Structure 1
Amino acid sequence: MTDKSRNDGAQNAAILLKVAQTMAKLGVAPFPRNYELFYEALSGHNAELTRDVAALGSQPAQNRIEQIGIRYHLTGFAAVAADTIRADTVRSIAAMSGALNNGIARKEAFAALLRGFIDRLETDPVAGMSEFADDAARLRDAVAVFEREERAFATSMNETVALLGGLRSDIEVMRKASMRDPITGLANRIAFSAKLSALYDDGNAAGPAALALVTIEGLRDLGESHGAAVAEKALKKLAPVFRKSIKKNDFVARIGTDEFAFVFHDVLAENAEAIAQRIRASVEGVQIALPNRTFTAQTLSLSTGIAMALTASGSVDLFTQAELARGAVRSSGRPGVLVFSAAIGGRTKKTYAPHAA
């Protein structure tokens, strides 16, 4: 294990310890989704979320925690949001069904009144005018009530339809949010897992494709030295660079703090390597402004491991190969690009360092 890996592990452990201590102090249940929420709050990625969590105070009710998690579309709260939407949908449909049943009953009662009035006219032609007037008045009142109830039912139906439409919108927002990284707006690890699996839908590679696993070298140090907000700004600056560097049918996702994954379609190893080199060069050209240093900026670089879909036995094997290639680059101490090969342990494949670009 390299010193950098040990430092990264120590940093992650320190953050998780701080989250656990804060939750214990506030009396928050140790659910995985709560850890996610407090991690986001303590990391300072979203100032508004941090304020909302701070406002919870000690011994916060779980439903208040879940309201915040759902409001900010955190992945861990997707199941809670889905349960809430499902419950709201059941209530709405039940209310609509009840209103419909009541409406049918009212219509049947009104129809019975009409039939009775018609029968009276047909079977009792000598009925007095006062009796006829009384029946007509009752019918008139019934019509008025029926009209009011029909209008109320129509209003209720429209409100229910609008509510169901809103629930559908909420579901779509939740679905998109659960597949997106909140900082970069790129796909997240969940979306990446689905993409990776899709490369081997029938057990075989769908076509010539490459997986590139990337570590942004210098990003963790940037965050440690200048704060999480600076690292977040760097990520937001790099996200459009990544988008512009790939074809329309290619794919990029943020899968870790400083880790990204690219899927290049319809490429050979040489093409994938060239694309990764261009992306690395683009990243190295981005200037990251440092706080309180007007004339000083920092640059970042990439360590990239590439594996080819056609030479892997499946999605897990493909990921493992790309990870091994990236690990070989990082162990060299120089950012670069490496395509996996059977002889990777012997370093027979050329590693492209920054000066060789």
Structure 2
Amino acid sequence: MVDDFQHDGHGHAAQNAAILLRVAQTMAKLGVAAFPRNYELFYEALSGRNPALTRDVAALGSYPVQSRIEEIGVKFHLSGFAPIATDVIRTEAARTISAVNQRLNNNIARTEGFAALLRQFIARLETDPVAGMSDFSADAGRMRDAVAAFEREERAFAVSMNETVAELGGIASDIEAMRKTSTRDATTGLANRVAFSARLAALYDDGSAAGPAALALVKVEGLRDLCESHGAAIAEKALKKLAPVFRKSVKKNDFVARIGADEFAFIFHDVSTDNAEAIAQRIRACVEAVQITLPNRTFTSKTLSLSAGIAMTPIASGSADLITQAELALHAVRVGGNRGVLVFSAAIGSRATKTYTRHVA
């Protein structure tokens, strides 16, 4: 997938166009259908970030069938192929469950047949006490053979059930991988906008705040300039350095998500206004301590900073109001080149103009 910086940065428009042109030219040369998910797959292949994916795409050759392209997209859990992956998982699950049902039915039938044979043998012993030794020997031989066959079938059934358990485990793994693809940012491994929207909505129960919490909308200052000056790869490297910093900066039950190219959202639970502001200031200091080494410049590095707008659940009427207040606080702290952390207040709300447009949500 084309990097977010290339989607929404003015300075990167030319580079974005060049990358898209290269992808389009490659797809046209190979006769690949111009589906959005195919663009995602070929961008990932041409980026070289996943050598295994690149090798699989290279092995497609000219004029590959779409089903083979989709197999690769599903295999590497690309987000554009998630609907196809869902259908594959559904089909595999139905097939596996049907097979289990058939095996169980067959096993029940075998067990019932063996039980019937055993009952017949017991009845013969009980009702015909004068049966000859040769007759008894013949019945015992048939019973011995039946027991041996039953044991073989039971062993085979146990093997098949173990294989089924493994298949179901694989399906569960695929479902989990697909879930992560749909709710995780590919670059940082943090939650994405989809997961953030769900978590934000959960802050309010029946229209009222479920508990004291704070939403901090954060913009990483300098990240876009870093991308435009040194390329998307350096910006991606910086993001991967920031991700663990953000994870370590919040409590276990708090939440952090990447919701834009250089924008993140934090949810702090059980905090006061002062607590939330102090946490945001601490995160800002941690970001400023991160050193980003520039390509071919071993002794040269760049630093970043952040601006944050904070809104508190007790004074917001709902999730939409909460995010609007955080946006206004973030906008206010960045006006005129200012940087830092600002908590929403009535004064900030009263200064909001009609020309203000949301840049986060």
TM-score, scaled to structure 2:
0.80
After superposition, give the CA deviation of every residue in 1:160-217 in whole Å (9 maximum; x if it has no partner): 2233234334433443443322322222222211210111122112222221112222
* Letter paired with 1:302: L
In structure 1, the residue matched to 2:203 is: 199
In structure 2, the residue matched to 1:308 is: 312
* Letter paired with 1:309: T
In structure 1, the residue matched to 2:299 is: 295
Q: 1:169 to 1:39 in 2, by over 3 A?
A: same
After superposition, give the CA deviation of every residue in 1:297-335 in whole Å (9 maximum; x if it has no partner): 111222322222222221122222322333344442343
Range moving further from structure 2, 229-238 or 314-323: 314-323
* Letter paired with 2:314: L
Q: Distance in 2 between matches of 1:241 and 1:205?
A: 28
Question: Does structure 1 residue 240 correspond to structure 2 residue 241?
Answer: no
Q: Distance in 1 between matches of 2:308 and 2:339?
A: 8
In structure 2, the residue matched to 1:109 is: 113
In structure 1, the residue matched to 2:74 is: 70
Q: Distance in 2 between matches of 1:347 and 1:41?
A: 48
In structure 2, the residue matched to 1:318 is: 322
- TM-superposed CA distance for 1:268, in Å, is 3.4
Q: 1:320 to 1:42 in 2, by over 3 A?
A: farther
Question: Does structure 1 residue 209 correspond to structure 2 residue 210?
Answer: no
Q: Distance in 2 between matches of 1:197 and 1:68?
A: 35
Q: 1:6 to 1:157 in 2, by over 3 A?
A: closer
CA contact (8 A) 1:23 1:29 kept: yes
- TM-superposed CA distance for 1:147, in Å, is 1.9
Q: Distance in 2 between matches of 1:91 and 1:194?
A: 32
CA contact (8 A) 2:31 2:62 kept: yes
Q: 1:54 to 1:329 in 2, by over 3 A?
A: farther
CA contact (8 A) 1:252 1:261 kept: yes
CA contact (8 A) 2:192 2:257 kept: yes
Among all aligned residue pairs of Structure 1 and Structure 2, give the percentage whose two residues are the same amino acid: 75
SS of residue paired to 2:99: helix
- TM-superposed CA distance for 1:33, in Å, is 4.1
In structure 2, the residue matched to 1:163 is: 167
- TM-superposed CA distance for 1:222, in Å, is 1.9
In structure 1, the residue matched to 2:144 is: 140
* Letter paired with 2:142: R
Structure 2 regions of 5+ residues with no counterpart? 1-7, 353-361
CA contact (8 A) 1:44 1:228 kept: no
Picking from 176, 182, 186, the partner of 1:182 is 186
In structure 1, the residue matched to 2:356 is: none
TM-score, scaled to structure 1:
0.81
Picking from 280, 303, 312, the partner of 1:276 is 280
Q: Distance in 2 between matches of 1:162 and 1:101?
A: 20
Q: Distance in 2 between matches of 1:323 and 1:20?
A: 37
CA contact (8 A) 2:9 2:224 kept: no
* Letter paired with 2:107: G
Structure 1 regions of 5+ residues with no counterpart? 349-357
Q: Distance in 2 between matches of 1:54 and 1:138?
A: 61
CA contact (8 A) 1:74 1:178 kept: no
Q: 1:112 to 1:279 in 2, by over 3 A?
A: closer
- TM-superposed CA distance for 1:262, in Å, is 0.9
Range moving further from structure 2, 178-187 or 150-159: 178-187
- TM-superposed CA distance for 1:124, in Å, is 5.6
Q: Please list, as runs of the form range in 1=range in 2, the aligned pairs for 1:54-93 lying within 5 A after superposition.
A: 54-93=58-97
Q: Distance in 2 between matches of 1:199 and 1:193?
A: 10
- TM-superposed CA distance for 1:291, in Å, is 0.7
- TM-superposed CA distance for 1:14, in Å, is 6.7
Picking from 266, 272, 288, the partner of 2:270 is 266
- TM-superposed CA distance for 1:282, in Å, is 2.2
Picking from 219, 233, 245, the partner of 1:229 is 233
After superposition, give the CA deviation of every residue in 1:7-66 in whole Å (9 maximum; x if it has no partner): 467776776666566555555455554454445445555454444444444433333333
SS of residue paired to 1:313: coil
In structure 2, the residue matched to 1:218 is: 222
Q: Distance in 1 between matches of 2:10 and 2:334?
A: 13
Q: Distance in 1 between matches of 2:250 and 2:148?
A: 67
Question: Does structure 1 residue 327 correspond to structure 2 residue 320?
Answer: no
In structure 2, the residue matched to 1:344 is: 348
Q: Distance in 1 between matches of 2:14 and 2:337?
A: 19
Q: 1:185 to 1:148 in 2, by over 3 A?
A: same
* Letter paired with 1:304: A
CA contact (8 A) 1:45 1:232 kept: no
- TM-superposed CA distance for 1:135, in Å, is 4.0
Q: 1:160 to 1:127 in 2, by over 3 A?
A: same
Q: 1:100 to 1:304 in 2, by over 3 A?
A: same
Range moving further from structure 2, 234-243 or 57-66: 57-66
